[in-house]
Every structure is written in C-alpha cells, then in structure tokens.
Amino acid sequence: VAGPFIEQYHVTSRFVEIIAPLLSMRLAQPLRAQMFRYYGEEYGHEALESTTCEALGVAPQRLAQITPLPLHFAFVDTLTLLADLDPVTSFAAIMVIEGIYGEPPRMSLRLAAAARDNASFNAVSGEHEELNESLNHNSISRDMFAHIAAVGPARQAVTMHRILFMLELNQRAWGGIAQFYGPQTELRLHGPFGQPLTPKP
C-alpha cells in the first residue's frame, strides 16, 4: 500500500514545477484565475502526502533519500514540458492527475480498504479525501475548457495524441509501482541508483 503514496509524494513535491509555466503565461483572465487558485490549493500539499507515508511506516528523513521510480520521473517531467509548450493539453492532463468529474476515486478506495486496519493511515487519508472532495479538483479540466470557446481540428488531434501518451505513461508508471512494491513482504524503498533502502533511517 505504501508504494503508490510514496510515488504520489514525489509527484506532489514537484507540483510547483508542473504548474509554474502556466502561471507566467498571458492566459485569458478566467483561466489565469483558475490556475492561480489551483496553485494556491496545492502548494505545500506534499506535507499531507508526507504524513500519509509516515503513517505507512516511512520515516520523514527517508522521503528525502528515496528516488522516484523512473517512470514517475518521466511523468512529472512530461507534465512540466506540456505546461510550457501546450496549455490546452496541460489543462486536459490535469484529469490524469486529479481524476474525472463524476467518477469515484477507485484506486484511493481500494488502497484505503487494503490498509483499513491502520488507524493512523485512515485518519490522514480520510482528511485527504475530504480535502480533495471539498476542492473539486477532479472538475478542474472540465472547468478550464468551459472558458475555451473553440479548439480547431488540428489542435484537437495534437491534444488527443498527447493525452493518450500521458495516459499510457501513467498506466506504465502504475505498472512500475506494482512491479517494484507488489512482491515485497517487507517494505523496502527505491534509493539512488536503485539501491534498496529500509523505511527507517
């Protein structure tokens, strides 16, 4: 159960990089306002992710030493590149991170069920889910496109190809989590150059 939360921590801790290119653009005012709101709501969110990892047995000092799995590095780097090169695809890509409006967070529910005997995890994850629900982050992509009057056919095709790539990369990154963490009987972490680390320093 710890693996997905460790990798989510690595994504969230680089949130500023992912969104900063959009904040510097001359977007239409409603889009700009929404991006700044999203930035304000997510900034510092890694502290909550860190607390979740701690509840699952990972010492805070270890989080600084864990190296993200390779495809999670690629996922964050690609999100950052998209924000710099292609705002339209970047707006759509938010749904890959935050989920889709109207769809329950199935993976979060499955992970919570798997860790239901861990009281400290349940307290933190419950707080996290309540925050996500109250902020409606799974509707950000939809809300952004409500302020875009039209996207031409050629741009639609480019956006579709790029989103399909992001979905494929996300799927493979989850496969990497399953491959690395799934067979473990005792938690070990992914250190520099793939060297294993124990959860405690």
pLDDT at position 110 is 76
CB atoms within 10 A of CB 188: 13
As a dihedral over the C-alpha atoms of residue 177, residue 102, residue 42, residue 172, rounded to 10 degrees, the angle is 20
As a whole number of angstroms, the distance between CA 58 and CA 169 comes to 26
Nearest Cα to Cα of residue 74 among 160, 1, 6, 168: 168
pLDDT at position 46 is 87
pTM above 0.85, yes or no: yes
pLDDT at position 189 is 95
- Residue matched to tokens 């496969």: 175
146-173: per-residue pLDDT in tens? 999 999 999 999 999 999 999 999 999 9
For 59: left if phi > 0, alpha if psi spans -120 to 50, otherwise beta; the answer is beta
89-93, 131-135, 166-170, 193-197: the lowest-pLDDT one: 131-135
pLDDT at position 43 is 87
Say if residue 25's pLDDT is above 90: yes
102-146: per-residue pLDDT in tens? 777 777 777 777 777 777 777 777 666 676 677 788 899 999 999
